[in-house]
Structure 1
Amino acid sequence: MKHVKIMGIPFTHITHRTLVQKLEEHIRLGEKSFIITANPEIVMHANADYEYMRSIHKANYITADGIGIIRASQLMKEPLPERVTGYDVMIDMLEIAEKEQYKIFLLGAHPDVLNRVEANIQKYYPNVEIVGKHDGYFDWNHNDVAEQVKEANPDLTFVALGAPKQEKWIAQNIDQFEKGVFLCVGGSFDVIGGVVKRAPAYWRNNDIEWLYRLLKQPKRWRRMLALPRFAYRVIKQKLKGCL
């Protein structure tokens, strides 16, 4: 499969529809798959953290979850086809799980949010079997979360620990699982649980979802600083012919 390398990260040249088809195929064949939906913030963090970069490189698919990634690929004359977000992939996989009665495991978020996510999935996708769940508040050095997932043997594990924790957790533990799709979904649990409202279609379609999030959550401004730094690095390296 074709990849586009941006600041050391090999983004998969794939559409949302094709990725969902691939993941469904992995489930049918009993295969493992690790999916990261990466934005400029993740790229910048990986370039400052070698271990995190190693974790990201263990993924089977790394998609462009952010207009900044798409613009960078266009600047490189190797345009990625479209944004592929963790939330959208999760929703489509839940619809497939509803039809095929797949088993899922939910990992991440605050306990109260996690309970709301479970309730909403059971309400809107009643044929989906939730075989386990665990909130995101656990000691990484002394926990049995991976064992719980292994024992539950899900077809799909949605990991909502936020970056960089979710990518590191999957990378550290995926070798002990025999099968299953492991999808990083970031703040998707907050949306499904009704805690956070997703940006309306207008903002998403006009590539300004980041602005909507900033207006709704001003505390995100520090995280948003990664965007201009990312743009500067991409342009600088392009001019130097290093990309």
Structure 2
Amino acid sequence: MSERESTPLPQFKILGQPVHLSKDYIPWLLDRLQRGIGTHVVTMNAEIVIQATHDLELSTIIHNADLVTPDGSGIIMALKLHGITQPRYAGIDLGEDLIRLAGEADREYPVFLYGGKPQIVQKAAQKWQTELPNLKIVGIEHGYLDTEQQAKLLHQIQSTQPKIILVALGMPRQEIWIRDNFHLCPQAIWIGVGGSFDVWSGVKNRAPQYIRNLDLEWLYRIAQEPSRWRRALALPQFAILAILERLWGKHKDKLAPN
């Protein structure tokens, strides 16, 4: 293994989409940060898998990502069907862990926040700057930019070279945007964090821990945002397809290296 490579994590495919398996992803990511190995992280849930089954562009992005983590409870359920015990790692938790890593006194990992509404991304940044005084945020930009503003954003990212870039544009827009601009900062961790800025800013509440422990965070989000119910239709569709996939025995080889 060369200095520019990292130990591959085992992966398993669910409905044709890969997910990497680990009890703790942070040491693996920290190793890549320390060695300047760029990393595109996709946080996988049932909705993304269903969309990727008929969206070749999204499926290709997922397959080319350096790390695909099990965000949703549906992914954990599908893995259990194949006898694989894997803890869920929500994208918001991964984003928080990376920010806390960057905020440690002996670290030098500048952070860039992009996406969400103007006041929301500002409040999210303020929350973390207050909590982590050593955190170095080198850029904050909302997700409603015109063409000229977008060009300035890309120039800012390229000139500041942050090490952790959190993108909150929603799926799949954030995954496509990261794919298209990864070359501007090739040594950074790029991760789409969806609605995390809303929670960090205090505009929305995250489900209590006991609800998360029951794998019902998706239901709590629907209760907060009833308009999400159409998106939730992917869950039963995913469950049926995952069960059928298990019954058809398509995964005789089980785990495979990255």
TM-score by length of 1: 0.93
Instruction: Choose which of 155, 177, 181 in structure 1 pairs with 2:163.
Output: 155
Kindly indicate whether the alpha-carbon contact (under 8 Å) linking 1:7 and 1:43 is maintained by their aligned counterparts in 2.
yes
- What is residue 127 of structure 1 aligned with on the other side? 134
- What is residue 255 of structure 2 aligned with on the other side? none
Shift of 1:39: 0.5
Query: What secondary structure is seen at the aligned counterpart in 2 of 1:57?
Result: helix
Alignment of 1:89 onto 2:97 = no
- What is residue 65 of structure 2 aligned with on the other side? 59
What stretches of structure 2 of length at least 5 have no aligned partner? 1-8, 252-258
Between the aligned partners of 2:248 and 2:81, the Cα distance in structure 1 is 13
- In 2 relative to 1, CA 44–142 (structure 1 residues): closer, same or farther, beyond 3 Å? farther
- In 2 relative to 1, CA 139–72 (structure 1 residues): closer, same or farther, beyond 3 Å? farther
Between the aligned partners of 1:173 and 1:101, the Cα distance in structure 2 is 22
Shift of 1:8: 1.4
Shift of 1:43: 0.5
Alignment of 1:13 onto 2:21 = yes
- What is residue 226 of structure 1 aligned with on the other side? 234
- TM superposition outliers: structure 1 runs of 4+ over 2 Å: 138-143, 145-148, 175-178, 236-243
What stretches of structure 1 of length at least 5 have no aligned partner? none
Alignment of 1:102 onto 2:109 = yes
- What is residue 3 of structure 2 aligned with on the other side? none
Query: What is the percent sequence identity of the aligned residues?
Result: 38
TM-score by length of 2: 0.88
- In 2 relative to 1, CA 2–203 (structure 1 residues): closer, same or farther, beyond 3 Å? same
Kindly indicate whether the alpha-carbon contact (under 8 Å) linking 2:41 and 2:67 is maintained by their aligned counterparts in 1.
yes
Shift of 1:147: 2.8
Kindly indicate whether the alpha-carbon contact (under 8 Å) linking 2:113 and 2:139 is maintained by their aligned counterparts in 1.
yes
The residue type paired with residue 213 of structure 1 is R
Between the aligned partners of 1:8 and 1:137, the Cα distance in structure 2 is 33
